[in-house]
Structure 1
Amino acid sequence: MAEMKQDELNAYSAACRALQDGKQSVLLSTLNQAGNPEISYAPAVRDGQGCFYIFVSELAAHTANLLSHPNCSVLLIQDEQESRNIFARERLTYQCDVEKVERDSAKGVEILEQMESKLGQTVKLLRGLPDFHLFRLKPTHGCYVVGFGKAFEVDPASGELIHLSEDKVKR
């Protein structure tokens, strides 16, 4: 298979950024106390370094999971109605390290204000509830899939894409 041309790679990079920028939530995969995976979702915002922030209740299983296993995977995926082929939906996954952020710290206040601005007044209500925790999800590795034969490693810091050709996948 021929190497991908730079202009084509640039177009995929822009599409990857658009997928991330177009979502207000992430699908979240965590590990429970028994080490079994659980999936859920949470509204999220991103900072300038590409980290995701979620504000979640102790009543949600994923909160206990994140507190006991500080890593997770997030998925951003194209809506089914927008996909031309259900088997090849555009999607981006990140493996993330998780860190709890104190709500009343300077960073916590900044992120919660950003969440309120981007996600609406519900955040203001949730800030008054003591069982909510703010988490920073720092991507360590990413994979962006656009369709058949169009998969890329994503550098979480720079957003740079590296095409995963058939040769690279088989290694």
Structure 2
Amino acid sequence: MGALLTSAAMTGAMARILDIVSDHATTRTQFGRPLSKFQAIQHQLAEAQSELSVTEAALANALDAHDAGLCTTLLWRSAKAQAGTAASIVAATAHQVMGAVGFTVDHELHHFTKFLWQWRDSWGRQVACERAIGDTACAAPDGLWTYITETGKEPA
């Protein structure tokens, strides 16, 4: 449950970070046009948003399974590992788009990114979750697909 709650907190922080960065990119101008009009910025923001969307889906799946009493270790580890992956991409993108202003004391961005970096290692580091997912895949007696599709069946 700690990993799921941490993943949920990370997801909320990433959503807020992307709101902050999107607002900055539309209001800040460079070379006579908003930052959001530059293709490289658009690509970075789209990649960060897609990682957040995948994280939201993984988290929702794990929380729904938990509410139904069917949450497997694969589900919560997948949500936590994806949140860690997305956190790295979202934080890096945010600070690249915002520049040094995101680290200033007066700006709220660094509060969210510092928490993201801390939460990546709480309740299961990303690499540990990914390794456990791989171990689970290898240990599934009837194969990974059967393990994924048959709820409640944990491999030995």
Q: Normalising to structure 2: TM-score of the pair?
A: 0.26
Determine which structure has greater relative contact order: mean sequence separation of CA pairs < 8 Å that are 6+ residues apart, divided by chain length: 2
Query: Is the helix fraction higher in 1 or 2?
Result: 2
Query: Is the strand fraction higher in 1 or 2?
Result: 1
